[in-house]
Structure 1
């Protein structure tokens, strides 16, 4: 009987040590567009942002991811239609300057932590991390802005400031996985 108990405890210990479901990854592919690798604990949530083509969350873990993709041609047409073609972004820096203020304005206590200019999967990218407060909740964000030949992308990942250290590594890793597919 003692051997059976020892064997059972050993089996449980081995299983618990190899269980990494919290950190397993899933690749989400948006048809004829892009893919993004995110933690498997996230689930689709279509009401995070009406403009996002990818929206995942885990409310219990307070972890959220969205991607907004904008065709450069569609963006140009909208700017022309609104008579502001002179404000159309020519490059990623201008696109970032166009988009980031709307995020900043939605926050109280906005504080930029870092900015990285890099190349990710053959796309020019700008990665920005910052904190801010929405409805008295302190939030930690990482945002990736990307430019491909025909499309601008925004990947927004956020959690509560309390969980920043718990998820920071995973959040940053997500930003490096955006990949165009079928282009």
Structure 2
């Protein structure tokens, strides 16, 4: 019995030592951490957008939103090179809600805070299914390492009630 155990252990040690790669590994970092503030009445959720890094909502107030991160390094690997936040914004907004009725997009508002660039615009459209006008505050945030699409929405009739909070969400983002 001792011989079988010794033979088994010797075989196991020899096999495990051959499993290790001969080539040294290069370490990569995966994932990206950023910080964003949400109003107290909103909480994290899922199911709004499969590409989103974070999703948030308040069913009581009927407001929703999410953030999609586009890492600059990954964009370059995909040969998507943007020279500015303006170019990234224009590329996004031209296709945003194009199939919706009565789509209206305001002129973009650009701001800078330290090394972070921001652009925001109001978008409204008529939702046939819900039979109401929907209001989006579309924000694009550019940091050294990423572009972020920050989209928050509510019924258009509540725009004045929630726009300031939607703006606070956009301008709170940092990585």
TM score, norm. by length of structure 1: 0.71
Alpha-carbon separation, structure 2, partners of 1:161 and 1:42? 18
1:97-176 maps to which residues of 2 (within 5 A)?
97-120=90-113, 122-134=115-127, 135=129, 136-176=131-171
Deviation at 1:128, TM superposition (A): 1.0
1:120–1:178: 8 Å Cα contact kept in structure 2? no
Structure 1 portions without partners, runs of 5+: 1-30, 80-84
Say if 2:65 is the partner of 1:65.
Answer: yes
Say if 2:40 is the partner of 1:40.
Answer: yes
Deviation at 1:105, TM superposition (A): 1.1
Deviation at 1:121, TM superposition (A): 5.2
Aligned residues: 143
2:115–2:144: 8 Å Cα contact kept in structure 1? no
Alpha-carbon separation, structure 2, partners of 1:37 and 1:51? 20
TM score, norm. by length of structure 2: 0.74
Deviation at 1:114, TM superposition (A): 4.1
Instruction: Please name the residue that 1:25 is paired with.
Output: none
List structure 1 runs of 4+ shifted beyond 6 angstroms.
none
Deviation at 1:92, TM superposition (A): 1.0
Q: Secondary structure at the match of 1:144?
A: strand
Structure 2 portions without partners, runs of 5+: 1-30
Higher share of residues assigned strand: 1
Aligned-residue RMSD, C-alpha: 1.9
Higher share of residues assigned helix: 1
Q: Secondary structure at the match of 1:35?
A: coil
Instruction: Please name the residue that 1:50 is paired with.
Output: 50
Deviation at 1:139, TM superposition (A): 0.8
Alpha-carbon separation, structure 2, partners of 1:117 and 1:148? 14
Larger Rg: 2
